[in-house]
Amino acid sequence: MSEPQITPITMPKWGLSMVEGKVIEWLVEENSEIAVGDEIMDIETEKIANTFEALDGGTLRRKVANADETLGVGALLGVLASADTSEADIDGFITAFQANYVPPEVSEEGETGPAYEWIETADYKIRYLRMGEGDKNIVLIHGFGGDLDLWLFTQEPLAAKATVYALDLPGHGQSTKAVRDGSVTALAEIVVKFMDAVGIDHAHLVGHSLGGAVALQTALAHSGKVDALSLLAPASLGQSINGEYISGFIAAESRREIKPLLQQLVGDPGLVNRNFIDGILKFKRLDGVTEALTTIAAGFVDGNTQTVDLRDALAGLSISVRVIWGSADRIIPADHALELPANVAVDVLDGRGHLVMLEAASEVNKLLQS
C-alpha cells in the first residue's frame, strides 16, 4: 500500500431543492470493500427514497451516520480508507470534517422552488424548467400522469454539459389542463411547438413511457429537429401495457386507492413515500385533470393493449437511439426491449421498475451521457 488515503462519503444532493436527506439504512457492513457504483445506502428525500451508489471505492472503515438520522447535503455519512490507516487517523479526519461542515440553509430559492417558465401556443400554456448553458440541447419529456419534476435526479446532472429543458405536457403538471387532442401525434407537435417557442432548432430528446412514444414520434415526423433519442421504458414498442394501472390512476381519488398503484411504478415499493403520493394526489385533484388523463389515455391505450405502434419505424432512423428499461417494469414489460433493430442500443437494468430514471438515477444518467 502506498500512503494512506481517507475519503469521505457525504450526503448526496439529488435535485435542486434537496437540502437534507434521511438515512433509511446502510446496505453495506463496516470493513467491507466498496467499488464505485455499489449500492451503499438507502436515503429518503422530500420527493422519493433512493439508493445511494458509491462515488469512490475503498474499504468502508467507519459508518458515521445512523439509520433514521436526517442530515444536510454534504454531511459526513462514512469514511473510506485503506486497511493500514490507523483508527486515530480516521478519528482525526472525522473530527476535522465535522468541525468544518456547514449544513446548507434553506434559501429563499429553495422555499419558492426552481424558476419555472412558461410558453404559450395557440391552445396551451406550457410550463418548463431550463438548466445549463451548453451548446447541446436536451429536451426531457415525462410520461402519462407525470410532470417535469420526475426529472429531478436527471436534469441537473445532464445540465453540466448541455442546455436541458424539461416540460409539462398538456394536461399535466402546471401546463393547461384542457387537452384538445391527446394523441401521440398531437403531443409530438406540441414538443415541436415548444422547441420553436424556446428557440431551439434541434435537440436530443429523452422521453419516459408515453413521453418516449412522443419523442419517437417527434423524430419520425421531424427528422431534422432530433439529434438523438433516449427512450426510457417507452410506450409504442410493443402491444402489452398495464391497463389496470392506467384506468386505476385516472379513477383514484384517495391515498388508499393510489398508493398500491404508485408502488407498481418501482421495483422496490418502499421507495414510494408520503410526499410522492401527496404530490400525485394534489395534481389529480386539479380541475380538468381527470378529463385530460382520460383523453390522453384514449390516444395510446385500449384496455391492456397499446394502440400506437412505432416499433417498425425505429430501423429507419439514422440518428443514435438508446432504449433503457427496468427488468422489473410492471407497467410496460421490459421484453419490449428485446429484438429491437441493430441501430438501437439497449440497456435493461436489473430489478428496476418503470420509473427507472428515479430508481436508478446514476446508472441512467451515465447511459444518457455516454
Partner 1 sequence: MARKILYQDAINEALDQEMARDENVVIMGEDVVGGMGTGGEMDAWGGVLGVTKGLYGKYGDRIMDSPISESALVGAAVGAAATGMRPVCELMFIDFMGVCFDQIYNQAAKFRYMFGGKATTPVVIRTMYGAGFRAAAQHSQCLYNIFTHVPGLKVVMPSTPYDAKGLLIQAIRDDDPVIFCEHKALYATEGDVPEESYVIPFGEANIVREGDDITIVALGRMVLYAGQVAEKLSTEGISCEIIDPRTTSPFDEDTVLESVENTGRLVIVDESSPRCNVATDISSLVAQKGFSTLKAPIEMVTAPHTPVPFSGALEDLYIPSPERIETAVRKVAAYGG
Strand segments (E) across 6-105: 6-10, 20-26, 33-34, 39-44, 49-53, 58-63, 70-72, 76-81
CB of 17 to partner 1, least distance (A): 10
CA distances from 260 to 59, 255, 277 (A): 39, 9, 10
CB of 107 to partner 1, least distance (A): 14
> Which cell numbers hold the place of 168?
409539462
CA atoms within 13 A on the CB side of 352: 22
CB nearer to partner 1: pick between 2 and 256: 256
> Which cell numbers hold the place of 16?
435542486
CB nearer to partner 1: pick between 202 and 284: 284
CB nearer to partner 1: pick between 2 and 254: 254
CB nearer to partner 1: pick between 33 and 69: 69
Phi, psi of 210 (to 5 degrees): -55, -35
Residue 146, C-beta contacts closer than 8 angstroms, at least 6 positions apart: 172, 173, 208, 209, 211
CB of 254 to partner 1, least distance (A): 5
CB of 285 to partner 1, least distance (A): 4
Applying CB under 8 A, the residues found at the interface with partner 1 are 112-113, 116, 177, 253-256, 273-274, 282, 285-287
Query: What's the distance, Cα to Cα, between the start and end of the chain in Å?
Result: 33
- CA-CA distance, 63 to 204, in Å (whole number)? 41
CB nearer to partner 1: pick between 274 and 366: 274
- CA-CA distance, 44 to 26, in Å (whole number)? 12
CB of 64 to partner 1, least distance (A): 18
CB nearer to partner 1: pick between 29 and 287: 287
CB of 294 to partner 1, least distance (A): 17
CB nearer to partner 1: pick between 179 and 232: 179
CB of 99 to partner 1, least distance (A): 22
Q: Parallel, antiparallel, or unpaired for β 162-167 and 125-131?
A: antiparallel
